[in-house]
Amino acid sequence: MAGLSLKCGECGTLLKSVEEAQEHAELTSHSNFSESTEAVLNLVCTTCGKPCRSKTETDLHTKRTGHTDFSDKTSEAAKQISLEVPKPSADLEESVVAGETSQPEEMVVPEVDAKLLEELEAMGFSKARATRALHYCGNVSVEAAVNWVVEHENDLDIDEMPLVPANKKVEPPKPALTPEEMKTKAQELRERARKKKEEEEKRMEREREKERIRVGKELLEAKRIEEENERKRMLALRKAEKEEEKRAREKIRQKLEEDKAERRRKLGLPPEDPVDAKPATPVVEEKKSFLPVKPATKAERMRDCLRSLKQNHKDDDAKVKRAFQTLMTYVGNVAKNPNEEKFRKIRLSNPSFQDRVGSLKGGIEFLELCGFEKIEGGEFLFLARDKVDMAVLNSAGSELNSAIVNPFFGVL
């Protein structure tokens, strides 16, 4: 098979042509080349179109630009290599005739921009690497030199001082942009990068906020389900206890009936007629009691009021709990600040009050037990300063606290 490249026998580099082999020999002093059937890699970045000759170059390109997709076009670009040495130019022929090539040409270090060289050395680059980068990028700018170093940092001669013929003056290409234009362009690029970074940070913050909200909702739902399951479990347990108690009473009753029948049998009496033994409606003769009936205390009335409120709205535990907490706030504010009229006066038409307490049967009645009275045609609930009873308020607070923390309050 015809050769597709030239391979350096010392470093293994594949070269496309004799010209590249000659240039490689000048830069590295390598002289052992052989024809190879292995084609030079041609990996083209699908994003920007930059060709890369090796996996190392693609890795460097990915590191610099973030582009990771490359198209292998090695077979398309591969062609049979020509081993013919290019003919020397007319000037070279004249110099050979004149005997000029008989003497070795003097090689010197190329001149580069001293200011740019100082900046590169200050950035940590060696003098040889900085000089080579400035020479091959045409002394355009520090950015161009840094880019050249990144693209050629795997070259074997990267840290060798470049040499050019003494009589050959290399004029650096003129920059395409003026310093002012370059400064403006750099400012635009920095501003664009800053805006892009800000947009990315805002997007990430929105994503984090959405995730926090989602997790919070899941936690609340899980907590609600757990509380509901616990409530159902306690109700089922209470029901089972009542059924067990009922069965125990039935066993005791049966045992008493059996003992009674046994005694009648021993006494020689006939068995008791079930109809006579259990009258349909037993008549209980009311007895007059000469003991005074103790009236219900205000604390007991408060407890009954709260129990009634919970039973009337047993399908909405959250609403009942919020009503209890609101009542606790009203009572606590009056107890802490009895001289503040704003805590002792409540507008009944207030939407918040109606939603939390007023619309629930038993809410206003509880406040009236605490001493509040309706005034101005029933528009306000007002607790006069001279009617503030700390003992009553403390009892109200205790009953509310018990209703809030006791999961069985109003259930049994």
Q: What's the pLDDT at 273?
A: 66
373-400 pLDDT per residue, tens: 988 888 899 999 898 888 889 988 988 8
Q: Which amino acid is at 317?
A: D
Neighbours of 77 (CB within 10 A): 14
Where is mean pLDDT largest: 30-39, 80-89, 126-135, 325-334?
325-334
Q: Which domains does the chain have, with CATH numbers?
A: 5-77 (no CATH), 105-165 (1.10.8.10), 298-405 (1.20.58.2190)
Q: What's the pLDDT at 97?
A: 47
Closest of 346, 322, 298 to residue 404, by C-alpha = 322
249-282 pLDDT per residue, tens: 999 999 998 888 888 888 777 777 665 555 545 5
Backbone phi, then psi, for 129, in 5-degree steps? -65, -40
Is a pLDDT exceeding 80 seen at residue 291? no
Distance CA 85, CA 19 (A): 8
By three-state DSSP, how is residue 45 classified? strand
DSSP for 193-261? HHHHHHHHHHHHHHHHHHHHHHHHHHHHHHHHHHHHHHHHHHHHHHHHHHHHHHHHHHHHHHHHHHHHH
Closest of 196, 205, 213, 403 to residue 320, by C-alpha = 403
Q: What's the pLDDT at 409?
A: 76
Is a pLDDT exceeding 60 seen at residue 1? no
Question: Which bin fits 217, alpha (ψ -120 to 50), beta or left (φ > 0)?
Answer: alpha
Token code pair at residue 59: 């890795």
Query: Per-residue confidence at 152, pLDDT binned at 50, 70, 90?
Result: confident
216-259 pLDDT per residue, tens: 999 999 999 999 999 999 999 899 889 988 999 999 999 998 88
Q: What's the pLDDT at 101?
A: 47
Q: What's the pLDDT at 30?
A: 75
Mean pLDDT estimate for the chain: 80
DSSP for 56-103? HHHHHHHHHH----EEE-HHHH--PPP-PPPPPPHHHHHHHHHTGGGS
Q: What's the pLDDT at 412?
A: 54
Distance CA 168, CA 91 (A): 14
292-302 pLDDT per residue, tens: 555 668 888 88
Query: Per-residue confidence at 39, pLDDT binned at 50, 70, 90?
Result: confident
Token code pair at residue 312: 């009337």
Is a pLDDT exceeding 60 seen at residue 143? yes
Q: What's the pLDDT at 99?
A: 47
Q: What's the pLDDT at 167?
A: 66
Percent of the chain scoring above 70 in pLDDT: 82
DSSP 8-state code for residue 397: H
191 to each of 62, 195, 197, 198, 265, how far by Cα in Å? 23, 6, 10, 11, 111
Are the C-beta atoms of residues 395 and 299 closer than 8 Å to each other?
A: yes
Q: What's the pLDDT at 244?
A: 87
46-96 pLDDT per residue, tens: 888 778 877 788 888 788 788 888 888 777 766 766 655 555 444 545 544
Token code pair at residue 391: 């003992």
